[in-house]
A = this chain, B = another copy of it.
Amino acid sequence: MRIVLVGFGVVSRSFADIIHTQASALSKDHGIRPRVVGIVDSRGAATSADGIDIQTALRSKEATGTLNELGANIYTEGKGALDVIREVDCEVVIEATPSELTRGEPGLSHVRTAMKEGRHVICVNKGPLALAMPALMELANHNDVKFKFSGTVGGGTPVLDLAKKCLEGCSINSIRGILNGTCNYILTKMTSEGVEMKDALAEAQKLGYAEADPTADVGGFDSACKLVITSNYVLGTSLSIKDVDITGITGVTKEDIASAEADAKALKLIGFVGDKARVAPEQVPVTHPLNVSGTFNAITFDTDPAGEITLVGKGAGGRETASSVLRDLIEIRKDFAR
């Protein structure tokens, strides 16, 4: 399978490393022989029909921040993703550029172009899905290509697959989840140490759990993206992030936390979809499985007749999320084989 990686951040690099180091297992267990024929980053693009040497690419990126150690035959500074997607023969495009939630670009154009060129798409970027998921599902269908996005929700934790593959014959009435590890870390810290929001946030930033501009996380927007993707995929809704009523955690005080604790509850940033879709701080009973600490994500599917089913795992991480990308690739390979 010939693959183009669009975006060469931590998830893409982990994925490249995994398919390189596990090449023989992938071939033996799943009949997959991945060949990376294109890598695009913010500076330029590397392409090679014979396959790009992964170790050199990773080393070059680490040492210089660019891919130029791959050599002038392979690397072209300034070459853009759309050109690579159009020009390089490949079966699968992996879109892993940073999420942008106003227009979804440049990811949205990458995904659309790849589909129109007949490439299967694995998308790790939440932006295009939060804004235009129904249209993209339609476009994939129209072009007869697979569109997978397991890594957009739950990192390596198979949230979407659990609901889709393991709950057949059940109806899912509602979904309630802690979908952002940064917020959960901050709220857990405020609870366990009695500190104020700003101090917990500063600690999260120090540990690399929160970005310098934490708005996407603490404003609830990242959770809302994941809620939209989960709802559309699992419940068959046609939501965009604009349909979600969003309240982040920036207004949460020590007193809110204490008041929840007095009732044997924990204050959590919850994404909920049932009769409506919202993200907001909510009190969760301390004994409920959703009450997970630290950076954990958790999601509860309220089903009939199997009852409440909760999945808990790390919601982020390069290698973890790369495992979702690999799962998507295995799934595409299986669909081929049918």
Contact = CB atoms under 8 A, between A and B. Distances in A.
Interface of A: 14, 18, 26, 30, 155-158, 161-162, 165-170, 287, 289, 292-294, 296, 298, 303, 305-314, 317, 319-320, 322-324, 326-327, 329-331, 338
27 contacts: A14-B305, A30-B168, A155-B306, A156-B306, A157-B306, A157-B307, A157-B309, A158-B167, A158-B306, A161-B165, A162-B311, A167-B327, A168-B330, A169-B323, A169-B329, A287-B294, A289-B296, A289-B298, A289-B312, A303-B323, A306-B314, A307-B314, A307-B320, A308-B314, A309-B313, A311-B312, A338-B338
Contact of A311 (B309, B323, B330): B309
Contact of A323 (B18, B306, B313, B324): B306
Contact of A162 (B162, B292, B319, B324): B162
B308 A311 contact: no
Nearest to A160: B166
A319 B293 contact: no
A168 B325 CA distance: 11
A292 B289 contact: yes
Contacts of A310: 311-313
Contacts of A166: 158, 161-162, 165-166, 327
Most buried by B among A30, A296, A309, A329: A309
Number of copies: 2
Contact of A306 (B165, B313, B330): B313
Interface residues of chain A: helix, strand, loop or mixed (majority): mixed
Given A289-B289, A289-B296, A309-B311, 19 more contacts: A18-B305, A30-B168, A30-B169, A156-B303, A156-B306, A156-B309, A158-B166, A161-B165, A162-B162, A166-B166, A168-B331, A169-B327, A170-B323, A287-B293, A306-B320, A306-B324, A307-B314, A307-B317, A338-B338
Contact of A330 (B169, B307, B331): B169
Nearest to A155: B306
Contacts of A326: 169
Contacts of A26: 169
Most buried by B among A165, A167, A293, A313: A313
Nearest to A293: B287
A207 to B, nearest CB: 17
B165 A307 contact: no
B306 A309 contact: no
